[in-house]
Amino acid sequence: MYSRDSPASVSIHEETTFVAEVPMMGVFNNLVVFDQHVKQNSLDSIVPDLATGWSWNAGVSWHDGKPFTAKDVQCTFDMLTGKSSEKLRVNPRKS
């Protein structure tokens, strides 16, 4: 992908411009998209982006086998809102 600019970083949490966000879309893929052939987005028009299909699983695990929990999500949001002891270098979404 051509970019005529050089982002300060490739951290989607520390950047806000398309110069950093767009190239990282493929790296931090949401795994689902809305069907582009449907006029109005709805829960029924969500389709897999990378996969050819999906099935229900009782749980998600990290690469080391530990379960992914709500505390993991809270950890990220606490860092984004400045409530964590770990800090981002730049946090444009803190407010």
pTM attached to this predicted model? 0.51
Say if residue 43 is in the same domain as residue 67: no
- List of the chain residues with pLDDT < 50: none
Q: 3 burial class (0-12, 13-18, 19+ CB within 10 angstroms)?
A: exposed
Domain with 36, as residue range(s), is 1-55
Q: Is residue 81 part of a domain?
A: yes
Query: What pLDDT score was predicted for residue 93?
Result: 75
How far is 6 from 20, CA to CA, in rounded Å?
8
What pLDDT is attached to residue 66? Answer: 94
Q: Which residues of 9-31 are buried (b: 16+ CB within 10 A; e: fewer)?
A: eeeebbbeeeebeeeeeeeeeee
**Beta carbons within 8 Å of 94's beta carbon, 6+ residues apart:** 80, 81, 82
Quick one: 48 and 9 in the same domain? yes
**What is the per-residue pLDDT across 38-56, written as a single tens digit (0 to 9) for each?**
999 999 999 988 888 778 7
